[in-house]
Amino acid sequence: MTTRNPYHYGTPVEGEHFTGRRKELSALLARMRDGINVVVISPRRYGKTSLLRAASARMSRWRPSPAVVEVNLQRATSPARFASLLTVAAYKMPGARWARARQAVPDFLRRLRVTPSVSFDPDGHPRFGFDTSFQAAELDAVLADVYQLLADEAERRPAVLVIDEFQVAARLGERLPDVLKGLADDNPSVSLVLAGSKRHLMEQLVIRQEAPLYGLAQHLALGPIPDADMVAYLLERAEVGGKRLSEEVARYLLDQAGPVPNDIQHLAYDAFELAGERIDAAAVDAGMAAAVEHDATLFADALGRLSPGQVRVLEALAVEPPSEPYAAAFARAVGLANASSVRKALSPLLADDLVVQRGGRLVIADPFFAAWVRAGA
């Protein structure tokens, strides 16, 4: 029988694959329980959605179970789509009173001011939709109705509205942040959890003093998972998979993968696949090579979309992240005129998260992309 790989990457992790974040999970759960608004901010692939799912899983074991409505704003390509996602999530709210009614859908629809169209999937589950003529004021009403549903439930149990990937809120119009603030202020018993992965966009929405949601919620920022926790996880999972892994090699894997949990899991997965009975440094190196090879075409496409100056900047960052990237010496090293030219080249790379700041230096965010760039530099 083939041993199943004990590591997981590429999608949010749950259950046995979720590790660390004990303090963050405890803090988030306490505030969701007590009706306190929270903003969760993390770089991409640091486990923001995994943390939200872990919180939902933990709350599902509470008695009474909390009322949770959760929506991923990345899937809301229009106000009508957002309203549809909200309505479906509200209908599926665990333990809702209308779910016990014989005619659940009509009872639920009576609680909404804007009536959606209703269809049913092959399993008989309802789908709710709104047509293309859907107006911004109607979205306001849908949000208010969902908030009211949660506020009603909050009389007997914790109630939470979770909006993940909130950094894309601007594409739904300028009204959404202000509407949310008003609803949150009017319904203090409901915990509003906003989560986002692009800090500069979240700053514009929530963090800066001029932001529309400034002061609305407590901030919970996710950084790297402590090395000790990640090493313990790597060792435990390797044992589950039936292969030996030393602490020394686990730390070497962390050095190669960098601090992002998804990247660590990715490299561990490939190293496990290529190792024999023992995951050694050679297996980690082979795993890195395999990960780079798998995405080489994507990396080439990404590099092909950049200007020559941006390519030279990336090559320099891949070889040795500079301590002063905007100094004249670095500009000369990458063939750019001056610090202003370097800033112009780096600005879109930072906005797209191709380059990030870690340990006080600018680095290529993806360690596999960095290794590919380095090999060709």
| C-beta atoms surrounding 5 within 10 Å | 14
Q: Which domains does the chain have, with CATH numbers?
A: 21-221 (3.40.50.300), 227-294 (1.10.8), 307-376 (1.10.10.10)
Task: State the pTM of this model.
Answer: 0.88
Q: What is the pLDDT of residues 115-141, one digit of tens each?
A: 999 988 887 788 899 987 888 889 999
Are residues 374 and 291 in contact, defined by beta-carbon separation less than 8 angstroms?
A: no
Query: What are the helix (H) ranges across 134-260?
Result: 136-153, 175-186, 199-202, 227-240, 247-257
DSSP state of 130: -
Give the whole-angstrom CA distance, residue 168 versus residue 202: 9
Rounded to the nearest integer, the mean pLDDT of the chain is 92
Phi, psi of 2, deg, nearest 5? -75, 130
Residues 67-83: tens digit of each pLDDT: 999 999 999 999 999 99
Which pLDDT belongs to residue 242?
Answer: 95
Q: What does the alpha-carbon distance between residue 236 and residue 6 come to, in Å, rounded to a whole number?
A: 9
Q: Say what the pLDDT of residue 1 is.
A: 46
d(CA 214, CA 200): 14
Find all residues with CB under 8 Å of 377, minimum gap 6, and list them: 315, 316, 318, 319
| pLDDT over 90, % of the chain | 75
Q: In this predicted model, what pLDDT tens digit does every residue of 290-321 receive, in sequence order?
A: 999 999 999 999 999 999 999 999 999 999 99
In sequence order, the 6+-apart residues with CB closer than 8 A to the CB of 361 are 321, 322, 323, 325
